[in-house]
Amino acid sequence: MSSSLVLGTAGHIDHGKSSLIKALTGTDPDRLPEEKSRGVTIELGFAQLELPSGRTMGVVDVPGHERFVRQMVAGATGIDVVLLVVAADDGIMPQTREHLAIIDLLGIPKGVVAITKSDLVDDEWIELVRDEVTALTRGTSIEGAPVVPVSARTGAGLDDLLTALDEMATEAVSRQATLPMRLPVDRVFTIAGAGTVVTGTLWSGTVKRDDAVELYPSGREGRVRSVQVHSRPVDKAVAGSRVALNLAGLETQEIARGDIVAAPGTLSVTDRFDARFTYLPGNEEPFATGTRVHIHHGTREVLGRVLLMGAEELAPGESALAQVRLEEPLAPRYEDRFIARSYSPMFTIGGGTVLDVLPPRRTTLKPHERSLLEALVAHDLSAASTGLLAARAVPMTSAEVAAAIGVPRAQVADELNRASLERLKVGPDTCFVTPEAQAGLLATIERELRAYHDTNPTATGIAALALRDRVDRRLGPKVFDALLALSAERGDIVLAGGEVRHPQAASTALAAEEQAVAALGPLLERQGLAPSSLAELAAEVGVEVGVARKALNRLVSEGAVVRIAGDLHFSAGALDAARETIVGYLREHGEMLAKDARDLLGSSRKYVVPILEHFDAQGITRRDGDVRTLGKRA
Classify residue 427: in a domain, yes or no. no
Percentage of the chain beyond pLDDT 70 is 91
Q: Is residue 244 domain-resident?
A: yes
CATH number at residue 81: 3.40.50.300
Q: Is the pLDDT of residue 317 over 80?
A: yes
Q: Is residue 1 part of a domain?
A: no
Q: Work out the average pLDDT over 604-623.
A: 92
pLDDT score of 4? 63
The pLDDT of residue 551 is 85
Q: Tell how many helices (H) and how many strands (E) occur in the chain.
A: 19, 34
**Residue 145 and residue 41 share a domain:** yes
Query: Rounded mean pLDDT of the chain?
Result: 86
Categorize the per-residue pLDDT at 607 as very low, low, confident or very high, splitting at 50, 70 and 90. Answer: very high
Look at residue 422 and tell me if it is in a domain. Answer: no
| Among 371, 370, 330, 387, residue whose Cα is nearest residue 354 | 330
What pLDDT is attached to residue 409?
Answer: 81
Residues in the chain: 634
Average pLDDT value for residue range 248-261: 93
Q: Which domain holds residue 220?
A: 182-262
Distance CA 623, CA 634 (A): 13
**Cα distance between residue 8 and residue 197, in whole Å:** 23
292 shares its domain with 229? no
DSSP 60-114: EE---SGGGHHHHHHHHTT-SEEEEEEETTT-S-HHHHHHHHHHHHTT--EEEEE
Residue 595 lies in a domain: yes
Q: Is residue 428 part of a domain?
A: no
Residues 332 and 296 reside in one and the same domain: yes
When pLDDT is averaged across residues 118-132 and rounded to a whole number, the result is 92
608 or 73, which is more confident?
608
Tell me, yes or no, whether 423 lies in a domain: no
pLDDT band at 485 (very low <50, low <70, confident <90, very high): very high
Highest mean pLDDT among 230-239, 536-545, 579-588: 579-588
* pLDDT at residue 616 in the model: 92
171-228 pLDDT tens trace: 766 556 578 899 999 889 998 888 899 988 888 889 999 999 999 999 999 999 999 9
Q: Are residue 110 and residue 134 in the same domain, yes or no? A: yes
Torsion sign over Cα 63, 66, 67, 69: positive
Comparing CA positions, the residue from 133, 109, 98, 88 lying closest to residue 11 is 98
- Chain-centre distance of CA 358, in angstroms? 9
**Cα–Cα distance measured from residue 163 to residue 106, given in angstroms and rounded to the nearest whole number:** 25
pLDDT (mean) for 353-359? 90
How far apart CA 327 and CA 568 sit, in angstroms, is: 54
Q: Tell me how far apart the alpha carbons of residues 167 and 50 are, in angstroms, rounded to a whole number.
A: 13
Round to whole Å and give the CA distance between 60 and 57.
10
pTM over 0.85: no
Nearest Cα to 93, choosing from 116, 122, 123?
Answer: 116
In the listed set 119, 144, 171, which residue is the last one of a domain according to the structure?
Answer: 171
Shared-domain flag, residues 129 and 12: yes
pLDDT interval class at 62 (50, 70, 90): low
Nearest residue to 460 (alpha-carbon basis) of 519, 521, 544: 544
Alpha helices in 227-290 (DSSP H): none
Domain stops at, among 457, 472, 505? 505
Same domain? For 144 and 29 the reply is: yes
Helix, strand, coil: what percent of the chain each, to 5?
A: 40, 30, 35
Cα torsion angle, 542, 545, 546, 549, sign: positive
| CATH number for the domain harbouring residue 187 | 2.40.30.10
Residues 51 and 79 in one domain: yes
Residue 199: strand, helix, or coil: strand
Indicate the number of domains in the chain: 6
DSSP 3-state of 618: helix
Query: Is the pLDDT at 497 greater than 80, yes or no?
Result: no
Contact 230, 244 (CB under 8 A): no
Strand 56-61 relative to strand 81-87, pairing: unpaired
Selection from 83, 53, 73, 55 nearest residue 145 by Cα: 83
Say if 299 falls within a structural domain. Answer: yes
Q: Residue 563: which CATH number?
A: 1.10.10.10
Inform me whether the pLDDT recorded for 2 exceeds 70: no
DSSP character for 620? Answer: S
Same domain, 32 and 159: yes
Is the model more confident about 240 or about 374?
374
| Same domain (yes/no): 83, 51 | yes
pLDDT of residue 44: 43
Residues 351, 378 within the same domain: no
Model confidence band, residue 17 (pLDDT cutoffs 50, 70, 90): confident
321 and 226 housed in the same domain? no
Domain boundary among 308, 325, 356: 356
Lowest mean pLDDT among 146-160, 356-370, 504-518: 504-518
| 314 shares its domain with 463 | no
Residues 145, 148, 149, 155: what is their CA dihedral angle, to the nearest 10 degrees? -140
Residue 342 has a pLDDT of: 92
Amino acid at 602: G
CA–CA gap between residue 89 and residue 97 (Å, rounded): 17
